Amino acid sequence: MMKALSTAASGMDAQQTRLDVTSNNIANVSTTGFKKSRAEFQDLLYQTVTSPGQPLNAGSPSGLQVGMGTRVVGTQRLHTVGSQQTTSRPLDVAIGGDGFFSVTLPNGDKAYTRAGDFQKNADGHIVTADGNLLEPEITLAPDARSVTIQPDGAVMVVTGNSTAATEAGKIQLATFANPAGLDAIGKNLYRETSASGAPITGNPGENGMGMLTQGALEASNVSIVEEMVDLISGQRAYEVSSRVIKAADEMLSETANLK
């Protein structure tokens, strides 16, 4: 009976984590460039009375093993590309494929993002919504009249009374051998880890990197329908596990009341 209690409790704990992950996905359904996560489960060690293949009386081909429950082994971030939403804002940029924008944090560390809602700060630098500098650094002249960001990342600017556009810089992208291994640090930012591998930088459209689209943003890849199904499934699994605990408790009570 006690095994049933602990096993069912492990199921409740795992489903609670699953609901936590699902709720975070739903909360970020409107977050630019957000990548949803999923909880991954693993069964716990088994109590082995007889291993498969060992004799039990006349012989047991399947053995006698009792499972001890489940646990969450990790949360997998799914880096599928979200749909593009047109904004017609010159500094909004969407990546149509693989790759991350590189930014420099205030402490000098590098971070990576899919959110291309860029702005211009007081010094003319292109920055993120939080003021982090785009890397490599691109500066727009104070008298810039129009900004065109080409699919290959070239930032063309028309300044003053000129009619010809000049290149102010070029947006580069970074890819990783294992993007799921990136460390999410909030604010639409990721950080390199040993699991993700070192960043591979290059121009958009080269070496499998996506092309850029000006005047658009990448939407979250969260599907509300899928998350609602997962939410209901997790809720039902949690409820059933709680019923197992109740049933085991009632059986223990019956045993204690035996005369």
- The per-residue pLDDT for range 195-211, each reduced to its tens digit, is 999 999 999 999 899 99
Q: Write the DSSP symbol of residue 181.
A: G
More confident residue, 163 or 95: 95
State how far the alpha carbon of 114 is from the alpha carbons of 65, 92, 128, 142, 180, in Å: 47, 11, 11, 27, 14
Q: Where are the beta strands (DSSP E) in the chain?
A: 37-43, 46-50, 64-67, 70-77, 84-86, 93-96, 100-104, 110-113, 119-120, 126-127, 133-135, 144-149, 154-159, 166-170, 173-175, 183-186, 189-191, 200-202, 211-214, 216-218
When pLDDT is averaged across residues 50-70 and rounded to a whole number, the result is: 71
The model carries a pTM of 0.85
Which range is least confidently modeled, 148-152, 178-182, 252-256?
A: 252-256
Q: How confident is the model at residue 252 (pLDDT cuts 50, 70, 90)?
A: confident
* Mean pLDDT over each residue of the chain, to the nearest integer: 91
Backbone phi and psi for residue 174, each to the nearest 5 degrees, phi listed first: -125, 140
